Amino acid sequence: MGEEDEDSSDLATTDTDSTSGVEMRLPHLESEDVEQLPAFAQRRARLAAQGRDVGAHLVPFSLSYDRRRDPPREGECQHKLFFKIDGASSNCVRNAWRRAGFERTSKGGWNLWWGRPLKFQEHKKLNEYQKVCHFPGTYYLGRKDNLARNVSKFRRSKGPSSYPYLPVTYILPDDRARLLQDWRDRGEKGLYIVKPKASARGQGIRLVAKPDVEIKKGANVLVQRYIDDPLLIDGRKFDMRVYVLVTSFDPLRVYVFKEGLARFCSQEYHGENGKVGGYKSKLRHLTNYSLNKKSAAVEEEGDGEGIKWSLSHLKERLAAMGHDPAPVFERVDDLVVRTLLSVEDKINANMGMYVPHRGNCFELFGFDVMLDSALHPWLIEVNTSPSLATEWQLDKRIKNQLAVDMFNLLGVCGYSRQGMRAREEPPKKDAGFADKLRRQEIATGRRPPLASLTEGDADLLMECDEEQALAGSFVRVFPAPGSERYLPLFASQRYSNVLLNAWQQTPRSQRPPLPAPGAGKR
């Protein structure tokens, strides 16, 4: 169900993972380097100015063990940082925390939660230091039937051209008649792929040529038009795993990791004369690594040789084949943003009801995208717990860095009960009718967004800038240059999105100064 189990079996293993000896193409930062970044210092200063007990609590993450954390230096904060795992996790995540000085706990008082999504009600107890690795309700994306429903609702509301990336999908049993009509309209020739509504790893998936007889009446499954002209490389089909990090839905902030994976079928596709041969053979048609690794002689080879490549290697190959990868991956970014837009109103409704603090939730998604022979990207599914297993050196190289960059970007902060008690309540920001009106006018375009910035706006804009500056190999795709074109695609215009987009589009030299914290009270 979009939840690809991680390597839960290795929970008990000692973490001997190391990145040493692995070729690093991504920048490699030491903790000291991260701390030297102006954005890191700004983040620390901003949080401290709000009365938060940050100090030494705001830790840098890195690929090497931070020796300064063990034991704590004289005068350094003694409060520990804790992570809690409930569900599956991976070495690359646990090691990133341990290197930064976190300890694992099975109790409360944790700073970072990893694993299963919390129940909606469980969010209510979160304090502002806690971060949870899911937003409430992302199964709207992670379950295949929900994804299809949400995308089709989005297309109904914003027009068919608003989302050109999902293969035509039927949710059975309700859509059976429509499916059969589609098949007949295509001269009873097209292939369909039948999937359980909530499953993973290629389990229960099959291809059918005669849906009228091959799919039982009353079957409770999802059926999609099969993309039968995939782009082939060395005669084999592949799909791409794109890592997407969302740090906020209001305002929407979306990052795509520069590196990712291409997963290949272990057998050749054999498409001839527009016909697909051997459609019952999973190893030709399904790109799931978990299926193909069982095929004989699949071991790690050099990047670009086996059944799993890095995306950078794939891009090189595309270029060598005469395809410019840049526009292809721009369309992939567009696919990512539009997919998230199809659920942002629902997730924000849950956030409003259950989540007490703006920074409580984040989520790493695994978007699976296939290219057809015209290089059009198709969304296959969204995984809400993408596997971060590091079976191959290639996985280690990519996923260790992914974990470190993700946590640096998020800015995980320590928790101190005393600090919480001692500290003054932060001033309520921007409350009141006048401010509501101001926000509404900005959201509806009746007031220029940057003309009357408040302290709360300043805090938000600084938070976003810091996050972006600490993003490592994550690239922000929303908001980003040109992303104001997405604003009409939101279910309702949010003030925060308009504000952040305006900030993003305005050259630095023309931006108004931000009000200093506490300025409003003086």
Ligand X SMILES: Nc1ncnc2c1ncn2[C@@H]1O[C@H](COP(=O)(O)OP(=O)(O)O)[C@@H](O)[C@H]1O
Residues 140-199 that bind ligand X (CB under 6 A): 167, 193, 195, 199
Nearer to Mg ion (CB atom), residue 191 or residue 471: 191
Specify the stretch interacting with ligand X by CB under 6 A; choose among 8-16, 107-115, 220-228, 270-278. Answer: 220-228
| Closer residue to Mg ion (CB): 370 or 450 | 370
Binding to Mg ion, residues 128-157 (CB under 5 A): none
Query: Residue 131's binding partner, choosing from ligand X, Mg ion, none, with beta-carbon cut-off 5 to 8 A by kind?
Result: none
Q: Say whether the peptide bond before residue 251 is cis (omega within 30 degrees of 0).
A: yes
Residue closer to ligand X, measured from CB, 240 or 413: 240
Using CB atoms within 10 A of its CB, is residue 324 exposed (0-12), middle (13-18) or buried (19+)?
exposed
The distance of closest approach from Cβ of residue 202 to ligand X in the complex, given in angstroms and rounded to an integer, is 4
Could you say which of ligand X, Mg ion, none residue 239 binds, taking C-beta under 5 to 8 angstroms by partner kind?
ligand X
Q: Please identify, using beta-carbon distances, which residue of 7 and 17 lies nearer to Mg ion.
A: 7
Of residues 390 through 449, those in contact with ligand X by CB under 6 A are: none
- The DSSP output letter for 381 is E
Q: Please give the residues from 369 up to 428 whose contact with Mg ion meets the rule CB under 5 A.
A: 381
- Phi first, then psi: what are they for 353, rounded to 5°? -80, -35
Q: Are residues 230 and 373 in contact, defined by beta-carbon separation less than 8 angstroms?
A: yes
Of 165 and 407, the one with the shorter C-beta distance to ligand X is 165
Q: How far is the CB of 489 from ligand X (least distance, A)?
A: 24
Q: H-helix or E-strand containing 85?
A: strand 81-86
Rounded Cα distance, 109 and 82, in Å? 7
H helix or E strand, kind and range, residue 255: strand 252-257
CB closer to ligand X, 47 vs 179: 179
Cβ at position 370, least distance to ligand X in Å: 6
Q: Least Å distance between CB 365 and Mg ion? A: 13
Q: How many CB atoms lie within 10 A of CB 296?
A: 5
What is the torsional sign of CA 310, 399, 397, 91?
negative
Nearest residue to 101 (alpha-carbon basis) of 53, 54, 52, 68? 68
368 interacts with ligand X by CB under 6 A: yes
Applying CB under 6 A, which of residues 26, 172, 227, 470 lies at the interface with ligand X? 227
Count of chain residues binding ligand X (CB under 6 A): 20
Shortest distance (Å) from residue 303 CB to Mg ion: 22
Contacts of 340 (CB under 8 A, 6+ apart): 141, 244, 246, 249, 252, 254, 478
Site membership for ligand X, residue 287 (CB under 6 A): yes
Distance, CA of 171 to CA of 382 (rounded, Å): 17
Least distance (Å) between residue 106 CB and ligand X: 31
Buried b (16+ CB within 10 A) or exposed e, 6-23: bbeebeeeeeebebeeee
Residue closest to 84 by CA, chosen among 110, 59, 65: 110
Binder of residue 227, out of Mg ion, ligand X, none (CB less than 5 to 8 A by kind): ligand X
Footprint on this chain of ligand X (rule: CB under 6 A): 167, 193, 195, 199-203, 205, 224, 226-227, 239, 286-288, 368, 370, 380-381
